[in-house]
Amino acid sequence: MPAERAKRVAESYLNAYAPALSKAMGAIVVAPASSRGWGHIGNSLILSTISDVQRRLHVDPDRIYVTGQSMGGHMSFRAALSLPDRFAAVSPQSGGYDFVAKNVIGNLINVPGYVTWGKREPYGIDKDSRTNAAWAREHGLDWVFVEKDGGHEIYQDELPAIAKFFTEHPRNLYRKEIYLRQGGSMRFERTWGIKGWPEHHVYSDERPLRWNLRHWLEVAPRPKNETPITVHALAKANNRFEVHSDQLREFSIYLHPRLIDFSKPVEVFANGKKAFAGRVEPDPALMLELAREFDDRGRIFWARIRLSVDTDEKVELAKKRQ
């Protein structure tokens, strides 16, 4: 949309969300305006806005949330699917697609969410939302799905519940389970011929906004034209990590005392084979570099293990999550 219209839309959203969220949470509500949609440029705008606000005001890096309606609902889902470790929780409203059919819905296990939509949505949003909700409930995701008796709108009566959900969910970079499926439609490599979206809008591995990071797991980009990379990683008891993957060839695990006991050896298993065993020493330089690189003072990891894997296996998520 034109820049001036984008600004007016952002202001209307700010007016809609600010009273409820500010009053219930003591939150700072910011509505960035984008005339470029919510692909990689839109995500860059969001993260740049967060950086700017954090420099002006005291913001807890583990209590940054994303919400929005319609296109903002799509944006909130994209944040959950591709940037889950930047946000504590998300709340998509009257937005999103059938992520089960796209085979990317497993990415939602990485961040909590609260979804609202109306029974009479346009564009099939109501049907897609029911499909996503059924899968999420079947697999025990920490997501709330609420269907309202209405249409394509912001449901003001749900905002206090969303604020409560946000308050109860600070960011957890050290969760015990991570899932990543990336590639295909999620790479955002075309502009659909839309006027004003030039080629620099598409994804580039050379930009700092990376798709291949989830909390304590980072994967190496695969060669182009292969099937999507899929990874299911678990931080188990007794300093043990298990990584199950398809199309993965290199990965890094970032460590913190909430994940391991640094006084004891660490074991990493990749597709059933032991890939690493030994003590890992804290690295203060790495810890500071990560906070600087991502402009995120809450991203605290003490050390890193870099490994390779030469096998593939089928990766599936069990229906009931812990």
> Hey, what long-range contacts does 23-28 have (CB within 8 A, 24 or more apart)?
24/159, 24/160, 24/163, 24/164, 24/167, 25/163, 25/166, 25/167, 27/65, 27/163, 27/166, 28/53, 28/57, 28/59
Q: Which string of DSSP letters, residue by residue, matches 65-76? A: EEEEETHHHHHH
Task: Check pLDDT > 80 for residue 160.
Answer: yes
Q: Range with the lowest mean pLDDT among 98-107, 221-230, 245-254?
A: 221-230
The pairing of beta strand 250-255 with beta strand 217-219: antiparallel
Task: Check pLDDT > 50 for residue 198.
Answer: no
- Which residue do the tokens 């009479």 mark? 120
DSSP 305: E
Q: What is the mean pLDDT of the chain?
A: 85
More confident residue, 173 or 38: 173
pLDDT (average), residues 248-275 = 96
Stated as kind and residue range, the H or E segment containing 231 is: strand 229-236
Most confident of 28-37, 89-98, 182-191: 89-98
Task: Check pLDDT > 80 for residue 92.
Answer: yes
- Which residue do the tokens 């003490």 mark? 302
pLDDT band per the 50, 70, 90 thresholds, residue 201: very low
pLDDT at 312: 92
Decide: 321 and 109 in contact? Cβ < 8 Å.
yes
- Model confidence pTM above 0.75: yes
Please state, as a whole number, how many other Cβ atoms lie within 10 Å of the Cβ of residue 269. Answer: 17
Task: Check pLDDT > 60 for residue 131.
Answer: yes
Measured between alpha carbons, how far is 186 from 198 in angstroms, rounded to an integer?
18
| Ordered domains of the chain (ranges, CATH) | 3-167 (3.40.50.1820), 177-308 (no CATH)
pLDDT band per the 50, 70, 90 thresholds, residue 222: low
Measured between alpha carbons, how far is 108 from 97 in angstroms, rounded to an integer?
13
Q: Where are the alpha helices (DSSP H) in 115-205?
A: 125-138, 159-167
pLDDT band per the 50, 70, 90 thresholds, residue 192: very low
SS3 readout for 75-107: HHHHHHHHCHHHCCEEEEECCCCCCCCCCCHHH
The pairing of beta strand 143-148 with beta strand 113-118: parallel
pLDDT band per the 50, 70, 90 thresholds, residue 206: low
Task: Check pLDDT > 70 for residue 184.
Answer: no
Q: Range with the lowest mean pLDDT among 43-57, 94-108, 246-260?
A: 43-57
